Structure 1
Amino acid sequence: MGGQVSSLDEVHVVIVGGGFGGIAAAQQLKSRRISFTLIDMRDSFHHNVAALRAAVKPGFAVRTFIPYGETFGDSFVQGRVQRVDTERQTVVLQGGRVVLVHSRIGLCDPELLPSVRQEAKEVLLGKGVELLLGQKVSNLSQLQLNVTQKNTVVTTERGDKLTTDLIVCCTGGRVNAAAYASSFSGCLAADGALKVNDHMQVEGNVTMLLAMGHDDGVGQFNGLKLPRCVVALGKSRDLLLWKSWREMQQKQPI
């Protein structure tokens, strides 16, 4: 980290962030047998280019997450960097605990299978998250959200008090229906969202027009220009997921 050394054996590189650039740098260091640590908040690399398809194609999402640990082993550390001390040549990670306050005893949507909701609970507990279930925060309107503020007191309806440094509210918000409320008043749900049928069509006598672009592109390979149909095929087949799996030196699930 900036020090003068006489041998690469004395070098240790810290990579903060496991995005496309981070994993490429880590692979370069790994191939040259240079000591390194890759730090990322998540446990897996996310090929975010394919996120939209993962939202609509069943089973596709699992292919967009590639575990760091399987590629980099002990050279990967999951965490959030708090600061970098250049004088001491150290990287400091955030510590502390995470508490999830939820109004219901069961997590997630009640329409999910009980086994799925239980597994979600077990995953959180396995990651060290403390669960405070069946309670609501009573002083939420008085709290400053999404801003680090030392020793903030959170009070629940049962009188429990939590001292925290950061509060993230994940209770959701009301849909902003101002743009269409007057025209589609008969098609709105209680929360302001448009009601749709199984075909994602708005309920009622409503016509919606969507402008769609052409599914094509341009590109080259090894200095040669590729036909546009080949580019479109390569992009649309798996959104270049194969490149990320190859970079991580893992086999893509089928």
Structure 2
Amino acid sequence: MRGEVLHYDEDQGFGFITGADGNRYTFAREDLRREASMARGMVIEFQPAGGRARDVISIRAQAASPPAATAAPTQTGNAPVAPQHFGRFAENAPATDLWSYFRRGLTENYFNFSGRVRRKEYWGFCLFWTIALIGVVGVGLFIDDAMGHLDELPAVTVGLCGTFVLATTPPWIGLNVRRLHDIGLTGWLFLVVFIPTIGWLIILVFALIPTQARENQWGPVPVGVRA
């Protein structure tokens, strides 16, 4: 896949890439196909592996490799080739509506604990998660009522709700970790949720803090936020 370097720290040996699919990927020095300087804005090719970029190589370095006869021309006549843009400037940049945030949270970001999420993405996920839970409860109660279980233990409702909560726990934790990254804090602070009584209140306060309007060590400013 083709992409663009958003950030690379030579000293720490890690960075971020925006792919042509509009998603962001992390990469480290060991993911480079050959030692090279990765500058911001450099066009590269890589192999996506979850949220990680593997076999990263710059297009310029690849074009310089033999055989030269197979290299694609960069110009047609006197007209230069239009530059490619990725990430927030790409035509296929990821949608920023609430439903799309929720859908990606349950699919491509299911086990994603790196990067950042803005407040809109966080609360969009919370909104549709709550709607989905209400739907699950409704289906469970309907089945329990039809089976005559409402006077006893509504086993179907309890089972469906438990399954739903367990299934959505990984993306929920990842969402909170990335929200903490977005405000410049380590994701390990999510462990405060286990503090009795006030743990969830602390997480709520973190979730309400505005995005850092600059790139930080966990990635660039999320799409849709004015830097």
Report the TM-score range of the alignment, normalised by the length of the smaller protein. under 0.3
Structure with more of its chain in helix, by fraction: 2
Structure number, greater radius of gyration? 1
TM-score where L is the length of structure 1? 0.21
Q: Does 1 or 2 have the higher relative contact order (CA < 8 Å, sep 6+)?
A: 2
TM-score where L is the length of structure 2? 0.22
